[in-house]
Structure formats: C-alpha cells, structure tokens
Amino acid sequence: MRLVLDGGALVSNWRALDRLSGDASAGAAVKADGYGLGAAEVARRLAAAGCRDFFVAHWGEAQALTGLVDPARLAVLHGIAPGEEAAATAGLAVPVLNSAEQIARWREAGGGRCHVMVDTGMSRLGLNWREDVAGLCAGLDIDLCMSHLASAEEDTAQNAAQLARFEQARQQVAARRYSFANSAGIALGTGYHFDCTRPGLALYGGVPCDELADHICPVMRIETRILQVRHVRAGDSVGYGATFVAQHDMRTATLALGYADGFKRALSSIGAFRNGDARLPILGRVSMDLTCIDLSAAPALGEGDWIAADFVLPEVQAATGISQYEWLTQIGRRFDRIWVD
C-alpha cells in the first residue's frame, strides 16, 4: 500500500494560500504529523519554498522537526504544561501561551520570546478576551499574538464578532506580529489576514470552503494492490454481514486496504476505486485489512496490479459526513509514503 504524495501540489497550495493572504505571509500547520502526510517531509518542502512559520501541537512534534525549520519560527500551540519547562526553554521551538497559569510558568522558567493565544469566542484554548489580557501579557516578549476562528468555513456572524474581539486584543497586546486566519479564514478577506496566516487543511488538498476550491489541488493519492481476483456468481454475497449480494455473475477484486489504514467503514458500499475513467465501486463492507471492489469495468487488471482509490477529500466528506480533517489525520501508518515532486 502506498500514499503517493505530490510535493509540487503541496508547494503550489502553499503558494496559492500565501498569495491569497495578501500582505500577510502564510505559515503552515504541520501538527498531527503534517495532517497524516508526514510532518518532516512537508516542512522540508515548504521551508524550501519560502514558508517560515510552522505550527505543531506538542513538544514531541517540535522535536521531530529539529534541523528542518528555524526553531524561532516553530510554534507549539499547546504551550507549556507542568513538567515541560525544560523542553520549552531548550530552544526547540517557541511556546504559545494560552492561560494565566502558562504565562506564570513561562515567567518562572526564565521566559524569553513567546507567542500568545487569545480566545475570541471559541471557548477552547487561550486567554479569554474578557480577561485583563493587557495585564497578563505585560512585559512578555511576544512574537505572535494570535486567535483562532471557530466557524471560518461558514458564512456566520461569529466570524465578524471574533474579528472585532481580536482587533480589541490587538490594541492591548504588544506583539511583533498578529495572526488570525486558518485555511478558511484566508478566504474571509483582507481584514482577517493580519501579518501571518496559519493554513493547515488546504495545504494538504482539503477544501474547507468554495472560495478556495479553484486554488487547491489534491496532494494525496491512496494506492494499493489487488491481492486476489474472484468470479462471484449471482446470489453470492461479499464481505462481513453479507451486505452486498451479486445480482449477476461478476468479476471482483480483493484489495489490501482496510479501516485499520484509515480507509473507514463509512466508505462501505459507497466508495470506489478508479481505473482510468472507469469507476470500480466498493462491494459490501470495508474490513480491517481488506476491501472488495467490482472489477467488471477493468478487465485488464489482475492480481498484483496497483489501483488507486477514488478519494477526493471534499467529495469523501460530502459522501460520508466525516470531515476532511479526520480522513487526513487518521490515514494509516502502514502505507509507504512516496513523495513525487
């Protein structure tokens, strides 16, 4: 099994997002192992293309990027928990301080350059905009003051409300730079860009909103081999639970790929593979390590041949109701990750 990863498409997506960010420069969210694609390979390519700011969630993820990106421009979004003082002051990366406790811990540990997250209405992580943000941040050496949009991919009043609160925080927090927009936030327009944007999903071929659809290319292709070709007779069933019963004799293939690889059961009976223009539907349930498809439309394919899934992130999200973020970040570890440029 292999994930064929298009480095040219990744860079082209970053360039498009950087361009759409106007005067701001686009960074890259590479947490969760680069949304499943491989953070080191992603960061190396984006750094070579000119991307400077990188965002991970955990210190371990920052460690994995040592030598690939400038540690002064690598941000750890979860900040500094008790016991992480040594990691945070070792110069691996810069913590994003999210609470009064984290700020106190950072000062106690010796401080230095940091980032600050202000929660402008997501009630998740960051200094509450209703708090005395100015007082909490006084004296800190802040590079990025940031906030995160809750509903950037939707046309909702929450975006403008968060923006107004962020503008207010900006008056109170002295920082070198300000950062607000994720992928979908970039499409909300200039007012949301500030100095640095933080796309993740769209770098990897996810399309969070229609405005980005024309700018983003797919990066990941799922390929696997045909393990066995079968001749199923009318009335035979396929797979667990016998949810597919053949109406006529047909040629099927059993593929090495299953839900243990992040090829989720939600694709059972609705997903497909591709051979040129021919669509080869999944038959019955996706199993842990195996998936069966209708091979009738691909008579030339046989045992041992490679075949690609019909897997376009926004389409798969629409068909299954499972978000593009989950599809990407839960893609399996058993794939060979093969980068083509």
DSSP letters along 63-97, please? Answer: HTTTTTS-GGGEEETT---TT-HHHHHTTS-EEEE
Separation CA 110–CA 161 (nearest Å): 35
Q: Is residue 200 close enough to count as binding ligand PLP by CB under 6 A?
A: yes
Tell whether residue 198 is a contact of ligand PLP (CB under 6 A).
yes
What is the rounded distance in angstroms from the CA atom of residue 318 to the CA atom of residue 127? 35
- 31, 35, 259, 325: the catalytic one is 31
Among 78, 148, 221, 285, binds ligand PLP (CB under 6 A): 148
Q: Which of 29, 87, 116, 118 binds ligand PLP (CB under 6 A)?
A: 29
Interface stretch with ligand PLP, choices 193-201, 224-232, 269-277, 292-300 (CB under 6 A):
193-201
133 with 127: CB under 8 angstroms? yes
Instruction: Give the C-alpha separation, 77 to 67, whole Å.
Output: 19
Interaction mask 66-85, ligand PLP, x per CB under 6 A? -----------x--------
Residue 20 near ligand PLP by CB under 6 A: no
Rule CB under 6 A: say whether 324 interacts with ligand PLP: no
Q: How far is the CB of 218 from ligand PLP (least distance, A)?
A: 16
Residue number of the CB atom closest to ligand PLP: 200
Helix 7-20 × helix 39-49 angle, to 10°: 60
Contact 322, 283 (CB under 8 A): no
CB of 108 to ligand PLP, least distance (A): 24
Q: Does 162 bind ligand PLP (CB under 6 A)?
A: no
Contacts of 337 (CB under 8 A, 6+ apart): 2, 3, 5, 37, 38, 41
Q: Which residues contact ligand PLP by CB under 6 A? A: 29, 31, 77, 148, 182-183, 198-201
